[in-house]
Amino acid sequence: MSAALFPIPPTNILPYSGEAILYADMFPQAESDVIFAQLITETTWKQEPIKMFGKLVMQPRLTACYGEKSIIYSGIEMPPLPWTNLLLTLKQRVEQIAQVQFNSVLLNYYRDGKDSMGWHRDNEKELGHRPVIASVSFGAERKFALRNYISKMDAVSVSLAHGSLLLMRGDTQHIWEHSVPKVKFAQPRLNLTFRVVQ
Ligand SMILES: O=C(O)CCC(=O)C(=O)O
Ligand SMILES: [Mn+2]
151 lies in some domain:
yes
Structural domain for 33, as ranges: 9-195
4 lies in some domain:
no
1 lies in some domain:
no
User: CA–CA distance from 24 to each of 72, 76, 79 (Å)?
Assistant: 28, 31, 31
Q: How many domains does the chain have?
A: 1
Q: Which residues lie near ion ligand 2 (Cβ < 5 Å)?
A: 122
Q: What is the pLDDT along the chain (198 residues), one digit of tens a residue?
A: 555 678 889 999 999 999 999 999 999 999 999 999 999 999 999 999 988 888 899 999 999 999 999 999 888 899 999 999 999 999 999 999 999 999 999 999 999 999 999 999 999 999 999 999 999 999 999 999 999 999 999 999 999 999 999 999 999 999 999 999 999 999 999 999 999 999
SS3 track for 63-128: EEEEECCCEEECCEEECCECCCHHHHHHHHHHHHHHCCCCCEEEEEEECCCCCCEEEECCCCHHHC
90 lies in some domain:
yes
Q: What is the pTM of this model?
A: 0.97
**Taking CB atoms and a 6 Å cutoff, what residues make up the pocket around ligand 1?**
106, 108, 117, 122, 135, 137, 144, 160, 178, 180, 191, 193
